[in-house]
Amino acid sequence: MREIKIESSMMVYDDHTSFSEQERELFDKAFGACKTAYAPYSTFYVGAAVLLENDEMIIGNNQENAVYPCGLCAERVALFSAAAQYPTIPPKSLAITIDYDRVKTDQIAFPCGSCRQVISEFEYRFETPITLYLLGENQQVFKLDSIKQLLPFTFTADLLK
């Protein structure tokens, strides 16, 4: 018998000062996106913004439904929209936030399991890691270099071959 150990890490920032103008613009897009989330059932408003290799930024937010499972998370709305508009342009990064004005929490939201799998598919599809910025209240940021930090044992299309 042997044990396999995995290691994960992320960078924690207490404010936005170490980020570039472009990164801060992406954060603003994510903060803006949660304002137009459609989340009347959970009242948990999430915003996301994808930065593409061509410097376009595409936003997404959660879209709920009276038939609850029909709803979709902000991350997937943003990524699917980006891929629909720019199917050949790799995403470089993804910023995610909660609407801290309306959701009373001081915690940072990590992407759900399904979104982790979808982000993983995008890394596989475009053969490039996607930087994740998880935005907190009061300018806190968790930065991860790849979804592999959150989903280390990934199911990819390699297994289907």
Applying CB under 6 A, does 74 fall inside the site for ligand THU?
Answer: yes
- Return the number of the residue (46 or 151) whose C-beta is nearest ligand THU: 46
| Active-site residue flag, 75 | yes
**Binder of ligand THU out of 18, 22, 36, 42 (CB under 6 A):** 42
Q: Which residue has the tokens 């959701």?
A: 103
Q: Quote the tokens at residue 39.
A: 């989340």
Q: Output DSSP code: residue 63.
A: B
Q: Quote the tokens at residue 51.
A: 């930065």
**Binder of ligand THU out of 79, 115, 132, 147 (CB under 6 A):** 115
DSSP run (H or E) holding 110: none
Rg (C-alpha) for the chain, rounded Å, is: 16
Reported in sequence order, the residue ranges of the chain that DSSP labels E, i.e. its strands, are 11-13, 46-52, 57-61, 91-98, 131-135, 141-144
Q: Quote the tokens at residue 142.
A: 């968790």
Applying CB under 6 A, does 62 fall inside the site for ligand THU?
Answer: yes
Q: Which residues pair with 135 in a beta bridge?
A: 97, 141
Residue 35 carries which side chain, given as an amino acid letter?
Answer: K
**Binder of ligand THU out of 57, 59, 73, 118 (CB under 6 A):** 73
- Return the number of the residue (65 or 139) whose C-beta is nearest ligand THU: 65
**Binder of ligand THU out of 26, 30, 33, 46 (CB under 6 A):** 46
- Selected catalytic residue, list 75, 121, 123, 127: 75
Applying CB under 6 A, does 112 fall inside the site for ligand THU?
Answer: yes
> Measured at the alpha carbon of residue 27, what is the angle toward residues 136 and 54, in degrees to the nearest 5?
145
Q: What 3-state class would DSSP assign to 161? A: coil
- Return the number of the residue (23 or 64) whose C-beta is nearest ligand THU: 64
- Return the number of the residue (46 or 82) whose C-beta is nearest ligand THU: 46
**Binder of ligand THU out of 91, 111, 129, 136 (CB under 6 A):** 111
Q: Which residues bind ligand THU (CB under 6 A)?
A: 39, 42, 44, 46, 62, 64, 71, 73-75, 109, 111-112, 115
